[in-house]
Chain A
């Protein structure tokens, strides 16, 4: 038991320290860009208290907006106070799935920047089946999810195919495919098939109620069954990686492609199936996002889920369980960031800075080791992308 605990503590130490550093540095940005703080520059004592209270208020709002807000309990009961937490989970759900799409790719040595495009294609597929057809409830949800997954798996698989056949680097191909997906959704929302009747702004019809994911905590909360799908997907990825032959091959190629090739593993087959599977995961994210909380496809449905996914996977050290935790954390930052923006003078965008800093420190353990003077920080070999010729 003690060993298990040590292992958890060991692998959580680097993320924890990176986290501290990121919040510390972001605090300076919050303080030094605040007009009230800058007014007190001449008086050191007042300056420090104002700066501390500004940063403190911002981080407090971040917490209240993401976990528990006592102000909401008045007149609605205690549970209502957890509304922010339910919103955090709603935001985290697509993030878990796109995060898994990036994490799985890392495991086989691929850097999947394309979760954004794959997410969009998943959303398009699910939305189309959701609003265009009529089925019985459970079947409709299943078919809409499958449609999203298939569209995105093809879009992701294309990357693997190009890489395996021609050596085209997945980073460049996925960056390009993200733009193409962005333009594609703009176009498709102008077509008569997708454009909602009597509307001119790019929005598709709502998916039919039979295709919507059921709510888990009553109508007051947006919390939907997507989180269960995401958790099952995370378990599925863990199972594939650790309990199947193909998963072993994924990791073998990720660890050392030429050794894997020598051992008789078909690297191109692994590359194609990894990317297709990653596409499927990101696409599931898009599908769940549409069927669970948005209902209507819009041009900005992708938000920044695909890009956040990379920071999520890096923070989760490309492990399924870690990715779930990281997604919940970033979901909380996002959700809380919105409250922080409306209640204090600190804009939501500081969350991006915090995210980037956390990942930057996690990616450079040498620096964290140096700053905190700790010795045995566990680092992760899975988090490397290969250069253009790799």
Chain B
């Protein structure tokens, strides 16, 4: 039987997952057997109840889930052999791997599953906004490392304006403009002056970090009552949907910024592949000469898309202030922009891929927090490393070939190619 390179990679991935499952089955199911019970809680607020909580003997749970996972992984191998996508197999195997681990890790303890997932989405929101911003830039051929700066600028501006006006709405309106301002610098220097985009993005981040730190110390701390006591949006439960068990509290009982995020993700994934704008955007990112030859103004469209990207990530920045705690704190984005960039790459520069990666990173982050709160023996630092290690694995091509848009980062000038 001859396999293509893609199939070989898929098989390699399944083999790794299978190996981990066997290790889990042995370690958690037999070697480190404990008589404790693990409790999964599903009820968070006032949603309709189907299941309140689920209690299982931790060893039994690990055995069951490892077993299911192993079967799923074997199914995945058969799917590859019959030239089909192994996704159903690997997805179930991955999920079982996680559940088997949780049954063991939280033995004798309570895991609030719905809360865990709701928190994951909240941590993923800035990542998804950021990766959408990166997507808009990079699909049109401009590398955006300045996502961190855009998020931070958005957070700062919305926090300060909401505090000065006592209105969350003003904060929400100003945030995209702050992000777009950073984008304006990015676009001007990258497109007009052909400055190296990676260096430029890096420098813009330093600039925004420096400026916000400076103003924070100079104005926000000494005059905090006027400058840094912004209000924040309350959660807005969507009728009926918000009452759905498990799904309701996770997705439909969030602040307005999260709902805006759904809309933006939907709009971008639709427009990028189904509209004239999307086709042109992808064209200037892949082959600007060809796009130019059919009359598309490459640099003008790039300029516009970069500004658009700034609006999106600036809005994402508002999530840190008016979207959650209200007040601004120093460097509060804490590297979310870089993880958003990683999510974009992990998701192979596609909207849905980036969103999935963002959710996964958010989940890994929140899981490590939850596990350290309930007191699990694995050092939380190692849990926190997971998204970063996963990204390195992803870009190393172990999961699948990751390819950036062909003209990403290459300034375009007519006749120079």
A residues less than 8 Å from B138 (CB atoms): 388
Q: CB distance A349 to B217 under 8 Å?
A: yes
B409 within 8 Å of A (CB atoms): yes
Q: CB distance B210 to A363 under 8 Å?
A: no
A19 and B114 CA atoms in complex are apart in Å by 54
B23 within 8 Å of A (CB atoms): no
Instruction: Identify which of B196, B210, B381, B396 contacts A186 (C-beta below 8 A).
Output: B381
Cβ distance B335 to chain A, nearest Cβ, rounded Å: 7
A residues less than 8 Å from B213 (CB atoms): 347, 349, 352
B143 within 8 Å of A (CB atoms): yes
B338 within 8 Å of A (CB atoms): yes
B238 within 8 Å of A (CB atoms): no
B305 within 8 Å of A (CB atoms): no
B376 within 8 Å of A (CB atoms): no
Q: CB distance B206 to A383 under 8 Å?
A: no
CB-CB under 8 A for A356 and B143, given A176-B388, A184-B381, A187-B379: no
Cβ distance B171 to chain A, nearest Cβ, rounded Å: 20
B residues less than 8 Å from A350 (CB atoms): 210, 214
Instruction: Identify which of A113, A310, A347, A352 contacts B218 (C-beta below 8 A).
Output: A347
Q: CB distance B391 to A349 under 8 Å?
A: no
Among the listed stretches B59-67, B102-110, B122-130, B400-408, which one makes contact with chain A, having 4 or more residues with CB under 8 Å of it? B400-408
Instruction: Identify which of A179, A345, A366 contacts B388 (C-beta below 8 A).
Output: A179
A175 within 8 Å of B (CB atoms): yes
Chain B contact residues, majority secondary structure: helix
Mark each residue of chain A from 348 to 390: 1 if its CB lies under 8 Å from any CB of chain B, else 0: 0111111111011001101100000000000000011111111
Among the listed stretches B11-19, B197-205, B275-283, which one makes contact with chain A, having 4 or more residues with CB under 8 Å of it? B197-205
A29 and B214 CA atoms in complex are apart in Å by 9
Instruction: Identify which of A162, A183, A310, A367 contacts B382 (C-beta below 8 A).
Output: A183
Q: CB distance B395 to A389 under 8 Å?
A: no
Instruction: Identify which of B145, B211, B392, B403 contacts A177 (C-beta below 8 A).
Output: B392
A281 within 8 Å of B (CB atoms): no
Q: CB distance B391 to A176 under 8 Å?
A: yes
Cβ distance B289 to chain A, nearest Cβ, rounded Å: 16
B87 within 8 Å of A (CB atoms): no
- Chain B 358-417 residues near chain A, CB threshold 8 A: 379, 381-382, 384-385, 388-389, 391-392, 395-398, 403-404, 406, 408-410
A329 within 8 Å of B (CB atoms): no
A173 and B379 CA atoms in complex are apart in Å by 23
Instruction: Identify which of A35, A172, A384, A385 contacts B345 (C-beta below 8 A).
Output: A172
Cβ distance A24 to chain B, nearest Cβ, rounded Å: 15
A222 within 8 Å of B (CB atoms): no
Interface size counted on chain B using CB atoms at 8 A? 53
Instruction: Identify which of B195, B388, B395 contacts A363 (C-beta below 8 A).
Output: B195
B residues less than 8 Å from A349 (CB atoms): 210, 213-214, 216-217
A residues less than 8 Å from B395 (CB atoms): 166, 168-169, 172-173
B residues less than 8 Å from A385 (CB atoms): 196, 198-199
Q: CB distance B199 to A33 under 8 Å?
A: no
A residues less than 8 Å from B211 (CB atoms): 29, 353
Instruction: Identify which of A34, A311, A345, A366 contacts B193 (C-beta below 8 A).
Output: A366
B92 within 8 Å of A (CB atoms): no
A167 within 8 Å of B (CB atoms): yes
A117 and B197 CA atoms in complex are apart in Å by 23
Cβ distance A161 to chain B, nearest Cβ, rounded Å: 10
B236 within 8 Å of A (CB atoms): no
Cβ distance B15 to chain A, nearest Cβ, rounded Å: 18
Q: CB distance B193 to A347 under 8 Å?
A: no
B residues less than 8 Å from A29 (CB atoms): 211, 214
Q: Which of B196, B197, B408 has the most CB of A within 10 A?
A: B196
A176 and B391 CA atoms in complex are apart in Å by 7
Q: CB distance A360 to B203 under 8 Å?
A: yes
B136 within 8 Å of A (CB atoms): no
- Closest residue of chain B to A387 (Cβ to Cβ) is B409
- Closest residue of chain A to B368 (Cβ to Cβ) is A183
Q: CB distance B206 to A352 under 8 Å?
A: yes
B209 within 8 Å of A (CB atoms): yes
A225 within 8 Å of B (CB atoms): no
A180 within 8 Å of B (CB atoms): yes
A residues less than 8 Å from B389 (CB atoms): 176, 180
A307 within 8 Å of B (CB atoms): yes
Q: CB distance A314 to B199 under 8 Å?
A: yes
CB-CB under 8 A for A363 and B196, given A186-B381, A187-B381, A310-B202: yes
A63 within 8 Å of B (CB atoms): no
**Could you show 9 A-B contacts with beta carbons less than 8 Å apart?**
A29-B211, A29-B214, A35-B222, A172-B341, A173-B396, A179-B385, A310-B202, A356-B207, A360-B207
A33-B214, A356-B203 given; 16 more Cβ-contact pairs under 8 Å:
A33-B218, A111-B198, A173-B395, A177-B392, A179-B335, A179-B385, A180-B388, A183-B382, A184-B385, A310-B202, A314-B199, A363-B199, A364-B189, A385-B199, A388-B345, A389-B408
